[in-house]
């Protein structure tokens, strides 16, 4: 029996204590993010039947739950997906790019609208339909693009957020007023989240 490394031991302890870790039989790597997302959708479609919304969010992304809830209080309960929506994004054909896509994998020159994977929200009528669509839509390794392809297949348009600036890419040193105005913002790494939360929780927002 192989000894567990520290990271694996910590994950197992969390799973035993909180029962909040979902595992599946595939290599957890960047190029398998599409598989990971489909596993998430499958779990949601079978375990969250009385839930209105779910959110996919990256581990290095700050989430302002208060602003998220305020947005969802006014959001549709069906046919709804929102986030930082990319429209008319060009398919990158440079083999040196992290997001290289060969014409054999995807022959179109631009992608359909999709919500960037740093964080997107969707109504819980969608997972089952997206899983069904995945039976007919050729898989690509860029997971947020693939979800957009499945959304196109089921004929559901993506919804832009109520206003710009709710779902952001990143800034170097987010201040408390910025953090109070967004729903998500991508950070440099997961370690920065601890620093950002200290700022968000301790600094006054009175002058924002």
CATH code of the domain in which 181 resides: 3.90.550
The pLDDT-based confidence of 19 (bands split at 50, 70, 90) is confident
Higher pLDDT among residues 113 and 26, named by residue: 113
Provide long-range contacts, Cβ within 8 A and 24+ apart, for 98-107.
99/142, 101/140, 101/142, 105/138, 105/140, 106/138, 106/140
Q: Note whether residue 178 is domain-resident.
A: yes
Q: Note whether residue 117 is domain-resident.
A: yes
Which of 34, 33, 75, 26 minimizes the C-alpha distance to 54? 75
This prediction's pTM:
0.90
Q: Note whether residue 7 is domain-resident.
A: no
In this structure, the strands spanning 184-186 and 167-168 are parallel
The pLDDT-based confidence of 172 (bands split at 50, 70, 90) is confident
**pLDDT of 2:** 57
**pLDDT of 184:** 96
Q: Note whether residue 17 is domain-resident.
A: no
Host domain of residue 30 = 23-202
pLDDT digits (tens, 9 = 90+) for 132-146: 999 999 999 999 999
Q: Note whether residue 184 is domain-resident.
A: yes
Higher pLDDT among residues 138 and 14, named by residue: 138
Count of structural domains within the chain:
1
pLDDT exceeds 70 at position 4: no
Q: With contact defined as beta carbons under 8 Å apart, do 104 and 140 qualify?
A: no
Q: Note whether residue 4 is domain-resident.
A: no
Q: Note whether residue 6 is domain-resident.
A: no
- Among 58-62, 166-170, 187-191, 200-204, whose mean pLDDT is lowest? 187-191
Average pLDDT of span 37-52: 95
CA separation for the pair 38, 40 (Å, rounded): 5
Q: Note whether residue 9 is domain-resident.
A: no
Average pLDDT of span 179-201: 89
pLDDT digits (tens, 9 = 90+) for 66-108: 999 999 999 999 999 999 999 999 999 999 999 999 999 999 9
Compute the mean pLDDT over every residue in the chain, rounded to the nearest whole number.
92
pLDDT exceeds 60 at position 1: no
Q: With contact defined as beta carbons under 8 Å apart, do 168 and 182 qualify?
A: yes
Tell me whether residue 65 is exposed, middle or buried, using C-beta atoms within 10 angstroms of its C-beta: 0 to 12, 13 to 18, 19 or more.
Answer: exposed
**pLDDT of 3:** 62
**pLDDT of 62:** 94
């Amino acid at each position: 029996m192989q000894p567990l490394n520290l990271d694996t031991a910590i994950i197992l302890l969390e799973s035993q204590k909180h029962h909040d870790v979902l595992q599946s039989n595939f290599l957890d790597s960047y190029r398998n993010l599409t598989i990971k997302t489909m596993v998430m959708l499958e779990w949601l479609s079978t375990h969250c039947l009385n839930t209105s919304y779910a959110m996919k969010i990256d581990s290095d992304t700050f989430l302002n739950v208060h602003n998220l809830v305020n947005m969802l209080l006014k959001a549709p309960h069906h046919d709804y997906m929102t986030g930082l929506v990319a429209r008319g994004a060009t398919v990158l054909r440079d083999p040196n790019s992290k997001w290289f896509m060969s014409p054999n994998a995807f022959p179109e020159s631009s992608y359909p609208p999709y919500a960037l994977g740093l964080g997107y929200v969707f109504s819980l009528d969608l997972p089952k339909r997206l899983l069904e669509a995945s039976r007919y839509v050729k898989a690509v390794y860029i997971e947020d693009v693939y979800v957009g392809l499945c959304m196109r297949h089921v004929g559901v348009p993506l919804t832009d957020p109520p206003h710009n600036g709710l779902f952001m890419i990143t800034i170097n040193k987010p201040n408390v007023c910025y953090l109070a105005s967004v729903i998500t913002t991508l950070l440099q790494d997961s370690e920065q989240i601890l620093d950002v939360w200290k700022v968000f929780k301790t600094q006054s927002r009175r002058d924002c």
